[in-house]
Structure formats: C-alpha cells, structure tokens
Amino acid sequence: MGVSKTDLFTTQQNELALVAKAFAHPARVAILEHLIKANQCINSDLVEELGLAQATISQHLKELKSVGLIKGTVEGTSMCYCINSEVWNGVKERLQGLLDSYSPESCC
C-alpha cells in the first residue's frame, strides 16, 4: 500500500475525508442515529440497542470521538455520549456546500 499524499489537499478536504471515513461503517451510522434520537446515551444503552459487543461499541465510539462528531463525559462509572453540535454543524455545512456545488447541466 502506498502512503496517502494528504499534503496535496486542503485542510478542509482532509478533514471532510476523515469525517466521511467515520460515516463509512453502518454501526457508526446506527450509533449516530441513536444519539440523535436519544439526545444523549450511556454506553451500555448502545450495547442493548445495537446488539454488538461492548468492545466493538467502544471502538466505534472512539472513531466517532476522534473526528469530533461526538463528545463524552464521565458519569460515575459510565460514559455519557452526545453529538458534538459545533462539529456536526460544520460538517453539515461543508457537505451541503459540496453537494450544492454540483449542477446537472455542467456535466457531459
């Protein structure tokens, strides 16, 4: 495998690609949907909701947290996760801008 040449791209392009990668697994999409619906979630709720092992859920949460889509706080012996609205809105704007930049008339 070759080394990715991320330095050829803008910071915004690299950040959007990382976020897109976080969306690239159905379990992470399901976690995000659950967090949006619940508006916050204790980690063990996700295990029950999704039927995945605790370790698997934790790994997916780590990926989502690493790109900033979610944030978490310690509550006793549990972690409470929620959508990071600042990052979420920024991603939403960037994706919307990319999607809106396409014009069907501009293609062959």
Tell me if 69 is assigned to some domain: yes
How far apart are alpha carbons 28 and 59 in whole angstroms? 10
Summary mean pLDDT of the chain: 88
- Determine the pLDDT at residue 1: 45
Tell me if 108 is assigned to some domain: no
Q: Which domain holds residue 43?
A: 10-98
Structural domain count of the chain: 1
- Determine the pLDDT at residue 106: 65
Tell me if 105 is assigned to some domain: no
How far apart are alpha carbons 79 and 35 in whole angstroms? 13
> What are the beta bridge partners of residue 31?
none
Q: CATH number of the domain that 77 lies in? A: 1.10.10.10
How far apart are alpha carbons 60 and 50 in whole angstroms? 12
Residues 94 and 12 sit within 8 Å (Cβ to Cβ)? yes
Tell me if 66 is assigned to some domain: yes
Window from 11-15, 21-25, 74-78 with minimum mean pLDDT? 74-78
Taking the model in full, what pTM does it have? Answer: 0.84
Tell me the pLDDT tens digit for each residue of 69-103.
999 888 777 788 999 999 999 999 999 999 999 88
